[in-house]
A and B are shown apart, each in its own frame.
Chain A
Amino acid sequence: MNKYKVWISFVLILVMLAATFTLVNAGTAKAPEKILTEATFSDPRTLNPIMMEDTASSDIIKRCNAALLKYDKNINLVPYAAESMPTVSKDGKTITFKLRKDIKWHDGVEFTSADVKFTYDMILDPDVMSPRYGDFLSIDKIETPDKYTVVFKLKKADSIILHEFQNEYLIPKHIWEKEDKKTLKANPKSRNLIGIGPFKFVEWKTAERVVLVKNPDFFYEDVKLDKYIISITPSTATALIKLEKGEANYVQVPEAEVARIKKLPGIKVITVQAPVFDYIGYNTKTPFFSDKRVRQAIAHAVNKNAFAKGIYKGLATPAETSYPPAFSMHEKNVRTYNYDLNMAKKLLDEAGWKVGKDGIREKDGVKFKVSCVTNKGNVMREKAIVLLQSALKPLGIAVEPRILEWNTMWEKYVDIGKYEMVYGGMTLSLHGNQDGLWHSDPMIGYFNKGRYANPKLDEIWDLARVEFDVKKQNKLYSDAQKMLADDQPWTFTVYRTTSFAVKNNVYPTVYDILEDCDFYKWDIK
């Protein structure tokens, strides 16, 4: 019996030891944390969603917050924090949202209609000085008949406002209602984000990093990453070095670096269509560019393939309209301008610009000598205006390719209309209405720096703004593109792309036009 006892004891000890080992091994086998480290080169200015106006801030906010609506990959609006798409009254002046009932702020407090009303009331409060103020001016008042219903009463129909509801501006009433409205930006709470999005904010060390962790209670979908670190570096070059050294596994890559980064082992580069076009902008109030035939002539002399291949490293495509092809509003059947120097010369002759003895065209005693300005340090734009100079020389147009500091260019030249030509890029709103670019009313057409005016086009933008039928709206945008192609207030040169580099085991969600998005879907395998 004693012998058996010894054996039993021995077996028990073995079983216990085996169990211990199993437990230890089970602990060791736990899946490693999925940590995405993104290297960027800019600190956010604020983490207060209603005060954000820079990309670095919005990049963090959109990872931590959500909105009533969102875009799907085809850029259609779909419900997000809203239970369904909102109902719109026949006169277009009442928009009613039903909210999901399963959403909590990151601090555990329930998200309700009171938060939505508080958010947009704050944005519209002049004391707050929110940069988003102008986007919601059509709102007259906001009603909350119950915890999960929000009714926006508009002063006039505004279809574009639906698209504004996909921006992640929502803020928690219980956090902000007692704060001084006039000092929101400086408020320490603006460095500590409480949202309803896929990641919870942990810390922000200026010029160093922002740390986010998975929100296990995210209402929309399971979040796959455990941690999201934004590593703030001094420059793009440093951000790329971090990727190369393995200190980051996600970074945005400028065009000039794509070829090099593609060669690095273990890294994949994903390039998507950006919602951006580059353009030659004309000041139509100068004697040089008031006649559309001159602008058309330049469009015939500028070879867009030369821009795409020679400047943008083959990562851009020639542009003919202000809507890149990935936009559903893109209209193919517009007037195009093939490379034709004879036609360009004919148009200039017709416009009264005759070749002078020195080879430079002149009209009414004015020589066709102009400058084209762009921002210093943007290598591709610096190169583009030199290419433009050589492209227009055979026409008898002398272009000085002038590069200026960013603020100087806008404030001393373009904003105040003291320029002839500008070479720039435009990031587009995805809602499609471009009245901000082209409307002749300066209060609406803020970016219409060339003071181009076409009353018929103004009418189209105004109609599109009150049109909720997407098909009818797209028809208006199609008409607008045809007019713009004929008028050439700007000559669109190329549609740009955006490239992202990630380690091979990172699976990001990036789509044409939307670029990087749906961060809850991102995974590391």
Chain B
Amino acid sequence: MKKVISLFIMAVLIMGMVISVNAAPEFSTGILKNFSEKSVTLDVNGKEVTYTIDANTKVYKNDIPVSILDEARKGMTIEFKNTGNKVTEIKVPNFGFENSGALAFSLIDIRENTTDSSQQSRESKSDTKETRINFEEIGEEESNRIAYWGELNKIVLGNITLVPDTLKVMLNGTALKIIDANTEFNAAVVGDEVKLTTQTDDPTCLELLFEKNFSEDTGITQDKLEEILSVTYKVKMYKQITTDIYNFPISENVVVDLNGKPSTLIKALNWSTSSYITTNTDGEVIFIDAVFDNFKCIVDGVENDKISVSVVRNNKVAMTDTLELSPGVTVYAADGSAIDITALKAKDEIKLSVNPFDAYKVNVIEKIK
């Protein structure tokens, strides 16, 4: 009997120890909505809870005791322990960046065009739009393009940047000597020179002035002219990068879709990479039609004309979505070759585009890895 009682007591003690270990509070997480020296208000799994704190509440940052008033920031995800309505311990994380300025919504439109003439980079700004235009040299291009304006001793090359020493002019099979704008034609031998000069009313427009008319036919067409006259040269090519930034206030009743489905402004801002907007007559944005465009993500699976994808941020799956595929979807391999949609496998890194004018279906996928 004693033995039974001893075993029972031991069991009770062990159970008591287990219970006491289990009773020790674990760290929970919550988003800090508000705080003071007496309380913290947290969003815990979507539910807002206010806990009291006092001088005995331990607050740590990087395991070093700190003051909550100095180190906490609204919006932080903090770890905390509580006993009932009281928080006993808090771990606050580091924050990244703090700044101040006016908050605004912008629609940013960047486009790249190629061109054969550069201008100075420039900016312009109004209360709703800001434009920045920059130029970048991208190489040289062989050209034989000329413009003939009906003057028998003149050819126009246009507003181009000519690569030095690349201009060659052949008339009836004979190479002509190129001289610069400030050099006089050599009177000793008439007809073998051509002057590279610029138009008087447009100093960026290059033209060739011939010492002698290249034809006697005043009605000569350009096609016929090019049979006797060959002008070849290299021209510098540029990329013109234009950034248009449209700034509009947002209506408090703004309607937001993401990939054709109702969404929130936060999600559209966070995840979309392109959008169409509509403003009312007061200039307020009332509708945002946001989509994925060249959107980087990871394939989770492809099945029944649908693709499931996820986005990993900070080593965590931050977002998952399943999107419909367009019947005309084009899929590229990493080397640019076209592949079938069935070649995509889980874990493939891709960029995909949802087309709002193709019923919000995915119509282009590029495999990155």
Contact = CB atoms under 8 A, between A and B. Distances in A.
Interface of A: 256, 259-260, 262-263, 303, 305-306, 309-310, 314, 339-345, 355, 357-359, 371, 376, 379, 382-383, 385-386, 393-396, 400-405, 407-408, 411-413, 416, 418
B114 interface: yes
Main secondary structure of the interface of A (DSSP, over half): helix
Contact of B129 (A256, A408, A413): A256
A394 B276 CA distance: 21
6 contacts: A259-B279, A303-B358, A341-B329, A341-B330, A412-B145, A416-B147
A305 B336 contact: no
A396 B338 contact: yes
B156 to A, nearest CB: 7
A206 to B, nearest CB: 16
Contacts of B337: 357-359
Given A260-B126, A359-B336, A359-B337, A408 B114 contact: no
A411 B113 contact: no
B127 interface: yes
Nearest to B327: A342
A263 B328 contact: no
A99 to B, nearest CB: 40
Nearest to B129: A256
A259 B244 CA distance: 15
Interface string B356-369: 11100001100000
Interface residues of B, number: 48
B124 to A, nearest CB: 8
A259 B247 CA distance: 12
Nearest to A393: B364
A501 to B, nearest CB: 14
A394 B128 contact: no
Contacts of A314: 278
B115 A418 contact: no
Contacts of B338: 355, 359, 396
A341 B276 contact: no
B335 A341 contact: no
A444 to B, nearest CB: 17
A404 B115 contact: yes
Given A260-B128, A358-B337, 9 more contacts: A259-B283, A262-B283, A306-B356, A339-B358, A341-B328, A341-B363, A358-B336, A408-B160, A416-B223
Contacts of A413: 145
A463 B157 CA distance: 42
Contacts of B111: 382-383, 386, 401
Contacts of A341: 326-330, 358, 363
Contacts of A376: 115, 117, 240
Contact of A263 (B114, B282, B330, B357): B282
